[in-house]
Amino acid sequence: MTGLTVEEITVMHQYVRPALSRRRFLTAAGAALAGTALLSGCSSGARPGATLVREWNLFSGGDGQRHVSMQDTFRQRTPGTALQATVLPWGAPFYTKLAMAAAGGRGPDLATMHLSRLPGFSPATLLDPYPSDLLAEYGITQDKFLPDVWNRCVVDGQVYAVPLDTHMIVHYYNTEICGQAGLIGADGKLVSPRGPDELLEQLRAVKQVTGNFGASLEAEQPWRFFASLYAQMGGEMIDANGTRVLLDVDRATEVLELLRRLAIDEQLVPGSADYPATVALFGGGQAGMSFNGEWEVTTYVDAGLPFGMAQMPDVYGSRLALGDSHTYVLPKQAVRDPEVLRATVEYIAAMLEDSLEWAKGGHVPAYQPVARSAEYAALKPQSEYAASAGAVAFDPPGWFSGSGSTLETVANDALGSVMTGALQPPAAAAQLKTALQRLVSIPSPV
């Protein structure tokens, strides 16, 4: 159910409560499953006697192509396993379908999930934990991952997710434009600004070169940029249980004042730009910097753009940036076949070991033997922001939170209004707090 709108969640919550029998719930789940068409599926190419592993994932575009390539490598190396991969629409459609299948104990053998979605997905209800001894047998142990990421995969002492990567918002810069603006150091890299004043100075210098904007960021959905800077202040939005709003209106207003100054007062960033426009402005040289997800690296490499990448700058006391991790989870099954589970873990281990290929698309490998390898260090510009993986701010806890969630939608309604000038920062901060209070007041539907 995670990923539905608040209204849909409210209705579902009333419907799935104890008054709903198991049979009626499974009937509803089956109808929902039938009504959601699969975008695409990869044939397992099953050989007689091969162990079938069914996977659902949400990787499309460049990520999808790279993931399929890694899966094909696994198939070639592991003929005893028949991998059947199915791609579903990213965001709410994926998580709604996955929750329905898992609630009936009929989930696939494996699925991808954003780590930020794990707490709200009710792991003990909709997911099966991994046997730690089986993970260890295939080299998947705590010491192979960053502590913060691994610890988020553990619920009540049991491992419910295995991280493939860490991905986050980063600082792109056009080396030619920034060079003309005097912002490139002797090492050929951007001199990272520190504090809001230095950031503004750099963006003004870049704007003089481009004649348009200093930087591009997604004005219609500025959640990632706002949440990054708010986290740098040490601000929290919701308590660990996802039931109490902790948003500091004064801190939020300070970040929003900066956003207004960037977009309205000095027009250093566009005040109304959707995601494609954000990418195009930087790719076309109309903005010399960009604050966006690292997954656009191949877009600019393929375009032959002269650019570099860096961690988010230290604007408010740290270099924290909003991020997430793609993980592998075991959707709940009424009966899980031990042979299939072993083949599933073997597949996960192979994907981790091959994650240098995944890193070429921008994501930082979660598997530290790859992240610390000489091969990854030689991968440019991807390795230039690798330290970001240790400075990630995750979405606030709550069933309504996580990548592509209701929280992001309601937050962007308030934040985007500041970028267009429709709301003053104090009013937008108050609107955001009211929206968060509404969300925490609705009980989790699972």
- Three-state helix/strand/coil letters over 367-423: CHHHHCCHHHHCCCCHHHHHHHHHCEECCCCCCCCCCCCHHHHHHHHHHHHHHHCCC
The pair of structure tokens assigned to 145 is 């991952």
Residue 389 forms part of a structural domain: no
3-state secondary structure of 171: strand
Given a cut of 70, whether residue 24 has pLDDT beyond it is no
| Whole-number Å distance between alpha carbons of 383 and 377 | 5
Q: What does the pLDDT read at residue 91? A: 79
Average pLDDT estimate for 28-51: 51
Average pLDDT estimate for 291-295: 95
Per-range mean pLDDT, top range of 21-30, 54-63, 88-97? 54-63
Residue 241 or residue 20, greater confidence: 241
Predicted confidence (pLDDT) per residue in 106-135, tens digit: 899 999 999 999 988 878 889 999 999 999
Residues 110 and 193 in one domain: no
Residue 145 forms part of a structural domain: yes
Q: What does the pLDDT read at residue 22? A: 33
Q: What percent of the chain has pLDDT over 70?
A: 89
Structural domain that includes position 420 = 169-323+395-440
Residue 346 forms part of a structural domain: yes
Average pLDDT score over the chain = 89
Q: What sign does the CA torsion over 419, 168, 152, 122 have?
A: positive
Given a cut of 80, whether residue 139 has pLDDT beyond it is yes
Residue 106 forms part of a structural domain: yes
Given a cut of 50, whether residue 35 has pLDDT beyond it is no
Residue 382 forms part of a structural domain: no
Residues 212 and 335 in one domain: no
Given a cut of 50, whether residue 428 has pLDDT beyond it is yes
Residue 14 forms part of a structural domain: yes
Average pLDDT estimate for 188-199: 97
Residues 145 and 212 in one domain: no
| Buried b / exposed e along 332-358 (16+ C-beta atoms within 10 A) | bbeebeeebbbbbbbbbbbbbebbbeb
For residue 276, give Cα distances in angstroms to 155, 220, 273, 299. Answer: 37, 11, 8, 12
Q: What does the pLDDT read at residue 280? A: 96
Q: What does the pLDDT read at residue 399? A: 86
CATH number for the domain spanning 174: value is 3.40.190.10
Q: Distance between alpha carbon 83 and the CA centroid of its chain, in Å?
A: 25
Residues 210 and 351 in one domain: no
Given a cut of 90, whether residue 38 has pLDDT beyond it is no
Residues 123 and 141 in one domain: yes
Residues 143 and 188 in one domain: no
Predicted confidence (pLDDT) per residue in 48-69, tens digit: 689 999 999 999 888 999 999 9
Residues 147 and 14 in one domain: yes
Q: What does the pLDDT read at residue 182? A: 98
Residue 349 forms part of a structural domain: yes
Average pLDDT estimate for 10-29: 33
Q: Residue 300: enclosing H or E segment and its boundaries?
A: helix 297-302
CA angle 241, 246, 247 (to 5 degrees): 135
* Residue among 390, 363, 372, 371 at smallest CA distance from 167: 363
Residues 221 and 96 in one domain: no
Residues 85 and 230 in one domain: no
Residues 304 and 339 in one domain: no
Identify the band that residue 45 occupies on the pLDDT scale cut at 50, 70 and 90.
low
Residues 42 and 20 in one domain: yes
Given a cut of 60, whether residue 261 has pLDDT beyond it is yes
Residues 46 and 176 in one domain: no
Given a cut of 60, whether residue 410 has pLDDT beyond it is yes
Total count of domains within the chain? 2
Say if residues 1 and 446 touch (Cβ distance below 8 Å): yes
Residues in the chain: 446
Given a cut of 80, whether residue 351 has pLDDT beyond it is yes
| Whole-number Å distance between alpha carbons of 92 and 4 | 6
Predicted confidence (pLDDT) per residue in 214-249, tens digit: 999 998 899 999 999 999 999 999 998 889 999 999
Q: What does the pLDDT read at residue 36? A: 38
| Span between the terminal Cα atoms of the chain, in Å | 7
Average pLDDT estimate for 96-110: 91
| Whole-number Å distance between alpha carbons of 6 and 410 | 10
Q: What does the pLDDT read at residue 42? A: 52
Which residues partner with 184 through β-bridges?
190
Average pLDDT estimate for 336-357: 97
Residue 22 forms part of a structural domain: yes
Residue 415, CB-side half-sphere exposure with 13 Å CA sphere: 26
Cis peptide bond N-terminal to 381, omega within 30? yes
- Ranking 192-201, 374-383, 435-444 by mean pLDDT, the lowest is 435-444
What pTM, to 2 d.p., does this model score? Answer: 0.88
For residue 180, give Cα distances in angstroms to 114, 190, 211, 400. Answer: 39, 12, 13, 45
Average pLDDT estimate for 372-393: 96
Average pLDDT estimate for 86-96: 87
